Amino acid sequence: MNKNKRIAIIGAGPGGLTLARILQQAGFNPVVFEGETSATQREQGGTLDLTEDMGQKALRAAGLFDQFKAICRYEGEALKVMNKSADVLYEDCSNENAEQTTSRPEIDRKVLRQMLLDSVNQEAIKWGHKLLYATPLENGQHKLHFENGATETVDLVVGADGAFSKLRPLVSKETAEYSGVSMVEINILDAKNQFPDIVEMNGLGSVFALDDYKGMLAQMNGDGKIRVYLSFKAPKEWLHNNGINYENLKEAKQELLKLFEDWSPELKKYIHYANGAIFPRRIYMLPVGHKWTHKKGVTLLGDAAHLMSPFAGAGANLAMLDASELALSITTHDNIDEAVYNYELKMFEYAAEIASETKRNMDLFFEINAAEKLTELMKTHYVE
């Protein structure tokens, strides 16, 4: 019986935890190995919109949808598209009044992760277990080697370990490559109380201000913070040879303002008001349509399987969908190897479609007249 198989999940992100939750609900005993020492070791990122056909579908399978509905933010779906003059070219604020009838409600990443963590048997999560490598053994088993010296032998190991997965080399020669896009993340803490003017402009959702082959991508978080991704089409080295001192917020803001010198004073407030942490980020991706030949005893989900840029909001959604599809396959097949094979075939197909969309969106964001082109795309896709 599959329930007696030793299943290891590498990574306690949304994908890994969703898989663990659904398998536990079905009577399995997977173990989640996480390199971080606790759930609060590092910043968990911004806000997510979970779609009906991916993230929400997975939460239904996990029996957590009602919990999600109670804590998500329907007003977070609001979106404005602007050019550098702060002209609003597209606006969807239909959900600012928080009607619970919408398809992509928002939830902060840390809130989602905590909900998933709370739903999983705590003894099944092994914190401080950073995977170094896995060795294939006979009969499809793998021996896992961790940085803390621990080892484990398992029947199935699932790589939910992100962009630079330690398990991906077991099935694929592909590695994450720089996408050509770099971001500088800045944060406006307590924006609702300290800077009501920027909150009024931003609204309760997101702003995409695009022009001159760069962008300001801002999102209101549930804790009253506005997270802003200053985005640039740039060589890989640019992020660290551009003269910006990321260790000194005041100096960094002066340099960042120069990069948006002729942008609207209203939009430049995103930089002027920044009062929190600053993070330089390169955007990496796997080739669109990434797939591999099935290998017994190992598989991947989420970014480990199909890393893509964030320009379709699909990362966490896809990871959770992968988790639910893999769990469903395992719980409905007598042969766990067949279950994994069938999951992979299905996942390759839908992930390739979304990766293609994400790549098209990324290219569009950094074209000439990007705001106008995005507006046309939004009207085509979302307006009857």
pLDDT band at 91 (very low <50, low <70, confident <90, very high): very high
CATH code reported for the domain at 177-284: 3.30.9.30
Does residue 104 surpass a pLDDT of 80? no
pLDDT at 1: 56
Share of the chain above pLDDT 70, in %: 94
Gyration radius (Cα) of the chain, Å: 21
What is the per-residue DSSP string for 105-140? -EEEHHHHHHHHHHHS-GGGEETT--EEEEEE-GGG
CB 190 within 8 A of CB 306: no
42 labelled binding-site residue: yes
Q: Domain 2-72+106-175+287-365 is of which CATH architecture?
A: 3-Layer(bba) Sandwich (3.50)
Helix H or strand E segment including 186:
strand 177-188
Stated pTM of the model: 0.92
Domain positions in the chain are 2-72+106-175+287-365, 177-284
Name which of 277, 257, 251 is nearest 216 in CA terms: 257
CB 16 within 8 A of CB 33: no
Burial 62-76 (b: 16+ CB within 10 A, else e): bebeeebeeebbbbb
Token pair listed for 383: 């307006």
- Rounded distance, CA 51 to CA 102, Å? 9
113 labelled binding-site residue: no
CB 313 within 8 A of CB 340: no
- Rounded distance, CA 320 to CA 297, Å? 21
Give the mean pLDDT of the chain.
93
pLDDT in tens, 178-228: 999 999 999 999 999 999 999 999 998 899 999 999 999 999 998 899 999
pLDDT in tens, 11-22: 999 999 999 999
pLDDT band at 236 (very low <50, low <70, confident <90, very high): very high
pLDDT in tens, 210-220: 999 999 999 99
